[in-house]
Amino acid sequence: MKIVINRSDAIGDTILTMPMAQMIKQQYPDAQIVFIISKKSQDLFIDHPFVDDVWVLDHTKSIISKFIYLKEKFQSFAPEYYFFVGGTQLPSIIAKMLKVKFRGGLKSKLSTFMTLNEGVRQKRSMVEMHDSEYNMNLLAPLGIHYLAQNRSQYAPVIKLHEDEIHQHYQSFLSELKKEGLDTSRELLFVHPGMTGHTLNWPSRKYAKLIARLDKLCKGRFIYIISYTPSDKIYIEGVKSELAKDEYFDFKDKYYFFNGALKGLRNYMCVLKKATLFVGPSTGNTHMASTLGVDVVGIYSPIKVQSALRWGPYNPNAKKVKVVVPDVVCGESFYCAGESCPYYECMPKIEVEDVILQIQQLFAKDIN
């Protein structure tokens, strides 16, 4: 059995699709599973226990170049089953053109009705379950049925090796020492940035959070403020807040970590050593949870952006906490802006609200 799964979009979305491979392997252990992914996601799949190969799409290349690449891959692998879960529709078109007999996945846009013959119609905007559960339900036409009571059996997997963790972590500690930071402290990651249109907590509040935590934790942590170049708008806000005179004594306790500088494997190996991760609805939050790091996620109250659908998918609920504005949001898709009586709602989340969730994760270790 040869299966291709197309998830060629964002890192977080790709992570939430991984349990599909686990479900398939449990029922069909000899199945060969290939993921079609974006280039930025390829480091997630090194030595993956349930995914045999990946076809990496470089979205900076021309449509013709990608078409030729994918057509050759399909012809060489000759899959019997294809699933569209998210990303570019190009693989679906090629799968139909090459007469792949089973073309399943998510039927939503017009193009999917034209290319998929075993697709599943889902109205995910209803937010009746987590996005990973929606993905696993796409396997029903293959005779693989997801049951909600078995949710704890499935989770994304990222395979890191102890030697590479040690190598990247020691290199990172050397960087911290050069900056004069105390490397005997634990790492606490704060990731203020995100892409897309999901609502986020104000940058200044992330800065206030780490300053408040340092007072409570009495020098326990180095605060790793991670980002990528696309997060610039959020990082500038954090830097601006921390530049204020009131944080002068705090300047040797945090470090800005550009996760794009040395690649995703480096970032994940360092992240794996963290005690806690705090961040919004973004791929880094899903990475942290998948790597077994305790997570506090800060989420929008808008229905399609909610933690019910996009929260960290971790079987161990004790390792994940979610903070949402204490408002009654009537919006399903977009923020209503100034017409909403709760506008702006995200700043209504106070630093102490996040601290409370951290205290619960640490079993009241912070006081």
What would the pLDDT profile of 121-165 be if each residue is shown by its tens digit? 999 999 999 999 999 999 999 999 999 999 999 999 999 999 999
215: helix, coil or strand? helix
Check: pTM over 0.85? Answer yes or no: yes
Average pLDDT over residues 81-89: 97
The per-residue pLDDT of the chain, averaged, comes to 95
Topology at the third CATH level for domain 2-153: Rossmann fold (3.40.50)
pLDDT score of 49: 97
Average pLDDT over residues 189-200: 90
Answer yes or no: is pLDDT of 54 > 60.
yes
Q: How confident is the model at residue 366 (pLDDT cuts 50, 70, 90)?
A: low
Domain 162-361 has CATH 3.40.50.2000: yes
Say if CB 352 and CB 323 are below 8 A apart: no
Q: How confident is the model at residue 250 (pLDDT cuts 50, 70, 90)?
A: confident
**For the chain, counts of helices (H) and of strands (E):** 13, 12
Average pLDDT over residues 197-221: 93
- Please state whether the peptide bond connecting residue 352 to the residue before it is cis, i.e. omega within 30 degrees of 0: no
List the 186-190 sheet strands across, edge first. 254-258, 221-227, 186-190, 276-280, 294-298, 320-323
Express as a percent the part of the chain with pLDDT over 70.
99
Q: At what angle do helices 90-97 and 63-77 cross, to 10 degrees?
A: 50
pLDDT score of 86: 96
CA-to-CA distance for 163 and 59, rounded, in angstroms?
32
pLDDT score of 367: 56
pLDDT score of 364: 53
Contacts (Cβ under 8 Å, ≥6 apart) of 293: 189, 271, 272, 274, 275, 276, 277, 319
Q: How confident is the model at residue 307 (pLDDT cuts 50, 70, 90)?
A: very high
Say if CB 93 and CB 115 are below 8 A apart: yes
Contacts (Cβ under 8 Å, ≥6 apart) of 214: 221, 223, 250, 253
Residues of the chain with CATH 3.40.50.2000: 2-153, 162-361
Q: How confident is the model at residue 109 (pLDDT cuts 50, 70, 90)?
A: confident
pLDDT score of 365: 61
